[in-house]
Amino acid sequence: MLFEDNLTFLVLKVLITFAGTIAMMASTTNFKIIQKKTVCIAVIWGYAVYVVLSAFLIIYYFDYEHFLRIFILTISCPAVLLLHHISDEPFAKLVFTRATHILVSLYIAATVTLINTALHGNELSDILLRLLSYLLATLFDFHFVRHILFDFAGTVKKGWGVLSLIPCAFIILSVTVALYPEHYTKRPLSIVTIYLLGAVIIAVYFSIGSYLSMQYGRLQSEQNREILEFQLDNIRRESADIEALEKQTKMIRHDLRHILTTVAALAESGDTQAILDVVENTAGMSADVPKPRQYCGDPILDATLSGYLASASEAGIELETFLSIPNVLPADSSELSVCFANMLESGIHACMELPEGERKMSVRCIHSPKLMLEVTYPFHGKMALDKKGLPKPPDGGLNSGFRSIASFCERHDAVYSFTAENNQFRIIVAL
C-alpha cells in the first residue's frame, strides 16, 4: 500500500526515511573529522527542509513513483557532496560508506512497505514500522558495524575508489528493478528479483569484508617485517661493536705483554716509582673500549630493547628504565619482541609530538611472579578507550600497534591494560 492519495503521509514517510538514513550514517561517523560541528548541524537541518520541500513539490506536481525514480539525483547525491564538504573524510571512502547506508535504507524502506501491505496496515502502522526498523538498524550499526568500520577504515588507506563503485552500482540496479516499468508492489515477480539481488549484495559485501581483512593482515605483516628489520639492523650494529671490542682487546693484550716485561725489569732493578708510573699510565688503556649494553640474554629481545631505547635517547626522550628479564622467556622471543617493540614505539611516537622538555618515558620490567612490562609516557588531549579497552586514535581508526599487542596477549593467555590518567598513558602486559 503506497497511499498515493495522502500527500502529507508521503512527505512524512520521506522525512522519516531521510532521518533514519542520517541516523545510520551518524552512528558510524567519527565526529572528530567534522570540521565545524555547528555549521554541520545547521547544514543538516537546512538539508532536511530542502528534502521536505523538494519531495512535496515533486509528488504534488508529478507523483510519488516519479519521486522515487529521481531521488538519487535530488536527495542522495547532494547529501554525499554536503557530507564531503563538512568533514575531512577522504571522498572515496565517504562515498563507499554513505552509499552503503543509502542502499541499506532502500531495502529497509521497501521491506516495511511490503510488510505493511501484507498485514493490510494503514498509514500509522507504516510509520511505526518504519521508525522501529530504522531504530534497530541504527543500534546495530552503532554496536557492531561502527567498530569494524573504524578498524578497517582507519588502517586501510588504498582501494576505496574502486570499492565505492560497488554500492553506487547496486543502488542504480535496485532502483531500476524496483521501479521500472512500474512499482514493485504491482509486480510480484520483481519482489523476488529484488531480494535475490539483496542476496547477491550480501555476498559481495562479504567479499569486500574479506578483502579489507586481508589488507589489514598485510599491513600487520608489513609492520612486523619492519620491526624484524629493525631488530636485524640492531643485531648487526651490536655485532660490529663486539668485533671492535675484540680488536681493541687483542691490541691491549698485545701491549700488555710489553708492559709486563717492562714492569718485571723495573721490579728487578727495584725502581718502585717507575713501576707506579707505568701502572698509572696503563690504567686508561681500556677507556675507549666500546661497552655494548645488554638488557637480557636472548639476542632477539635484547636487540629490540637496545634498538628502541637507543632510538628514544637519540630523539631526546628522557628515559627511566628498570629491566629485569629472565634468560628463559615465557613466550617465543620473536613474538615477545614484536609486542615489546609496539609498546616502545607507541611511547616514542607520542613523545615526539611533545615539546622537548616534556619528552619522558618510563620502561619497567619484572620477571617475578610473572614477566610484566610497563611503558608509561605523557600525552596531551583526551584518550578514549573502546569496549575491549583499546585506545581509539583521533582519526577514528584502530592503532595497529595496540591491536597487535592485544592479539599477542590473546594468543598467549596474557593480560594487557591501557590506562590514561593525569596526562599519563600507561601500557602493561603481563604473562
Amino acid identity at 278: V
**55 located within any domain:** yes
List Cβ<8 Å contacts ≥24 apart for 135-139: 135/20, 137/20, 137/24, 137/104, 137/108, 138/20, 138/23, 138/24, 138/27, 139/27
**Does residue 135 have a pLDDT over 80?**
yes
In the listed set 186, 208, 224, which residue is the last one of a domain according to the structure? 186
- b/e map 301-338, b = 16+ CB within 10 Å: bbbbbbbbbeebeeeebeeeeeeebeeebebebebbbb
In this predicted model, what pLDDT tens digit does every residue of 145-186 receive, in sequence order? 887 777 666 666 777 888 899 999 999 999 999 999 888 988
In this predicted model, what pLDDT tens digit does every residue of 51-75 receive, in sequence order? 999 999 999 999 899 999 999 999 9
**80 located within any domain:** yes
Residue 380's CATH number? 3.30.565.10
In the listed set 171, 186, 201, which residue is the last one of a domain according to the structure? 186
**368 located within any domain:** yes
Based on the fold, state whether residues 306 and 179 are members of the same structural domain: no
Which of the two residues, 62 and 290, has the higher pLDDT score? 62
Q: How far apart are CA 53 and CA 36, in angstroms?
A: 26
Domain total of the chain? 2
Phi, psi of 430, deg, nearest 5: -130, 130
**111 located within any domain:** yes
**192 located within any domain:** no
What does pLDDT average to over the chain?
82
In which domain, by residue range, is 404 found? 299-430
